[in-house]
């Protein structure tokens, strides 16, 4: 068996130009680092872009503590992602949505869910149970069908980069499409392997060189059984704590979907390196089902033999998570070892931006999942920090693309930011007349600048135990508004990361200041609200002095009584302190 790598060494809409695009000379980006005897900075081409997203990975599921305030995992092993965090830049205040489909829609559209051209809040209908006091909104791209899908007429980030001359390839879970075909025909990807309207892989292994119908058949060309050559070249170099016999036992067995989608991504990159490319790698793992039958046998054996630490110890979850790490390792190694024909033959890594994150907080279900969000409150499906805060790593061998060295950045990152940021790096033009809610993170990535901004979240319905609510994060403070009780919660995340002490009653001034930000955002984005369910008695809110938001309008009130009857929106009420 070959020696292992040393992991520690390791009809088109009108358009307008993104204001923050880097200066250009002769159609090329200024500022890339040049190797001796190679073309100068003014000749550096536009960078390649690689976006990797794990599914349901918890905030504290990586080995490194850099991404999560020092709460690294002492059971899961993620050596290459740990290395990228040490060499690149991490964002400890990064946010997704309560579930995967709203996050994915935000990534592709650059918009909050409150926008009518997004309108995705949950995986399924957020209407809620018949016993709930409020009724959630109808969501989806068509009001009649409630599908959680990106509108086919919307100009996605993939389409924006295509129009800028980028080759675009998609590998893995897509979910927010009406069909696998739409990913290529309507959402901006030249090629797609495995993505479809399905929410997850119901079984992680191929059978007879085919994955089941939860994975698009486009990935089947990479579904052949493991061969000795494949194991030696693509698994053995990344294995630590796995015996040679365990690796050899993979030969002739079914291919794991994580390996197959990595094969597809690498095949695309290899064929596309003569032009700038976007490789979007949306991992199926470690989303449920998480059990022994879903884990690659060599990694499962490793974690079964491993002593637990302080973090939850679930062998199948650890195996799936390390499989994602190996996927990233293979991609990064290819970038580091492959000459870039557009950049004087230097390694592709010297002109490629790599981003890694997760689509929502981890699901801390020891039976079906096994994620760990550390000290954060709650988990996937809830608006508290454990449900929405995610790891976020950016990396490049080019310091002009990413100012690295393990730098930690406290910029609040939102899923909507990916669109504007990738467009900025690609020197792409943005669609005109479309409200984009993200900020350009390029100054943060490339210079380490902290960008001051707020983060908003709105759920006009139900996801599991989470009811209708809105939130705003501003600096150290996070404010929640619960529509069922018409009440606020306030937490000081700098002193109370676990959100254990509600300070709303003690800090009325802070509540009002953040409440003004939140009500202004609801109004600006024309956010829909849940309604009082049929059969519920009228809701009477007395002596309201302050502002309310409902039906797309902010109303100033003075000593008024508000009566909400069945079918009417239950308002956001901000009393004057």
Residue 116 sits at the vertex; the CA angle it makes with 11 and 385, to the nearest 5 degrees, is 125
| Annotated catalytic residue within 108, 175, 457, 458 | 175
388 vs 390: CA distance, rounded Å: 6
Active-site residue, 175 included? yes
Structure tokens at 340: 């870039």
Q: Using only the alpha carbons of the chain, give its radius of gyration.
A: 24
Give CA–CA dist 126/98, Å, rounded: 12
User: Do 68 and 59 form a contact (C-beta atoms < 8 A)?
Assistant: yes
User: Is 62 in contact with 391 (CB distance < 8 Å)?
Assistant: yes
Angle between helices 297-304 and 315-337 (to 10 degrees): 130
Q: What are phi and psi of 240, to 5 degrees?
A: -130, 130
* DSSP H or E segment with residue 95: strand 94-95
Q: What gap in Å lies between CA 290 and CA 296, rounded to an integer?
A: 12
Site of tokens 């036992």 = 249
Closest CA to 57 of 364, 265, 413, 281: 364
206 neighbors 264 (Cβ within 8 angstroms)? no
Which residue among 100, 187, 256, 287 is the active-site one?
A: 100
In 3D space, the residue among 130, 129, 110 whose CA is nearest the CA of residue 118 turns out to be 110
Tokens standing for residue 190: 């030249």
Provide the 10 A C-beta neighbour count for residue 220: 18
The set of residues, in sequence order, having a beta carbon less than 8 Å from that of 471 and lying 6+ positions away, is: 383, 456, 457, 458, 478, 479, 480, 481, 518
Rounded CA-CA distance 105/404 in Å is 29
Measured CA to CA, the distance from residue 169 to residue 48 in angstroms comes to 12
Place of tokens 């390839």: 169
287 annotated active-site: no
Alpha-carbon distance of 465 to 24, in angstroms, equals: 51
Tokens of 545: 């002095």
**Helix H or strand E encompassing 325:** helix 315-337
Task: Report d(CA 249, CA 259) in Å as an integer.
Answer: 16
Nearest to 569 by CA among 7, 195, 135: 135
Residue 305 CB neighbours (<10 A): 10
Hey, which residues are catalytic here? 100, 175
């Amino acid at each position: 068996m070959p020696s292992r790598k040393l992991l520690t060494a390791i009809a088109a809409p009108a358009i307008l130009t993104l204001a923050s695009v880097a200066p250009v000379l002769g159609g090329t980006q200024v500022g890339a680092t040049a190797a001796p005897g190679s073309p100068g900075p003014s000749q550096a081409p536009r960078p390649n872009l690689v976006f990797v997203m794990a599914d349901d990975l918890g905030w504290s599921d990586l080995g490194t503590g850099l991404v999560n305030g020092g709460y690294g995992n002492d059971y899961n092993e993620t050596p290459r992602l740990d290395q990228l965090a040490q060499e690149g830049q991490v964002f400890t205040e990064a946010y997704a949505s309560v579930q995967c489909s709203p996050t994915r829609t935000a990534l592709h559209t650059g918009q909050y869910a409150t926008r009518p051209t997004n309108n995705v809040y949950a995986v399924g209908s957020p209407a809620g149970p018949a016993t709930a006091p409020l009724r959630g909104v109808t969501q989806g791209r068509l009001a009649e069908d409630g599908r959680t899908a990106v509108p086919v007429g919307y100009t996605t980030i993939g389409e924006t980069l295509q129009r800028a001359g980028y080759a675009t390839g998609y590998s893995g879970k897509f979910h927010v499409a009406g069909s696998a075909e739409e990913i290529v025909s309507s959402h901006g990807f030249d090629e797609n392997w495995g993505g479809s309207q399905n929410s997850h892989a119901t079984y992680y292994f191929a059978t007879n060189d085919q994955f089941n119908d939860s994975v698009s058949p486009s990935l089947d060309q990479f579904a052949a059984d493991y061969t000795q050559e494949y194991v030696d070249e693509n698994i053995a170099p990344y294995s630590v704590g796995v015996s040679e016999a365990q690796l050899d036992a993979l030969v002739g067995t079914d291919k794991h979907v994580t390996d197959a989608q990595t094969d597809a991504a690498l095949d695309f990159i290899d064929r596309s390196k003569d032009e700038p490319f976007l490789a979007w790698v949306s991992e199926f793992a470690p989303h449920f089902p998480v059990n022994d039958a879903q884990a690659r046998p060599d990694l499962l054996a490793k974690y079964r033999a491993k002593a637990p630490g302080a973090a939850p110890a679930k062998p199948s979850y650890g195996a799936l998570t390390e499989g994602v790490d190996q996927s990233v390792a293979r991609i990064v190694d290819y970038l580091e070892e492959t000459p870039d024909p557009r950049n004087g033959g230097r390694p592709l890594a010297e002109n490629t931006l790599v981003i890694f994150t997760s689509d929502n907080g981890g699901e801390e279900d020891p039976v079906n999942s096994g994620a760990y969000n550390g000290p954060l409150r709650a988990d996937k499906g809830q608006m508290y920090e454990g449900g929405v805060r995610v790891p976020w790593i950016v990396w490049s061998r080019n310091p002009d693309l990413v100012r690295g060295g393990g730098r930690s950045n406290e910029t609040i990152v939102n899923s909507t930011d990916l669109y504007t940021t990738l467009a900025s790096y690609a020197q792409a033009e943005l669609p005109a007349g479309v409200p984009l809610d993200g900020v350009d993170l390029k100054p943060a990535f490339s210079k380490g600048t902290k960008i001051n901004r707020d983060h908003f979240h709105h759920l006009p319905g139900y996801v599991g135990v989470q009811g209708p609510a809105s939130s705003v994060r501003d600096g150290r403070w996070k404010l929640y508004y619960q529509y069922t009780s018409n009440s606020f919660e306030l937490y000081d995340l700098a002193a109370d990361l676990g959100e254990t002490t509600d300070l709303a009653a003690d800090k009325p001034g802070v509540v009002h200041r953040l409440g003004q930000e939140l009500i202004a955002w609801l109004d600006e984005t024309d956010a829909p609200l849940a309604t009082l369910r049929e059969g519920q008695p009228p809701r009477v809110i007395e002596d309201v002095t302050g502002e309310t938001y409902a039906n797309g309008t902010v109303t100033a009130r003075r000593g008024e009584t508000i009566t909400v009857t069945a079918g009417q929106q239950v308002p956001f009420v901000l009393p004057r302190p």
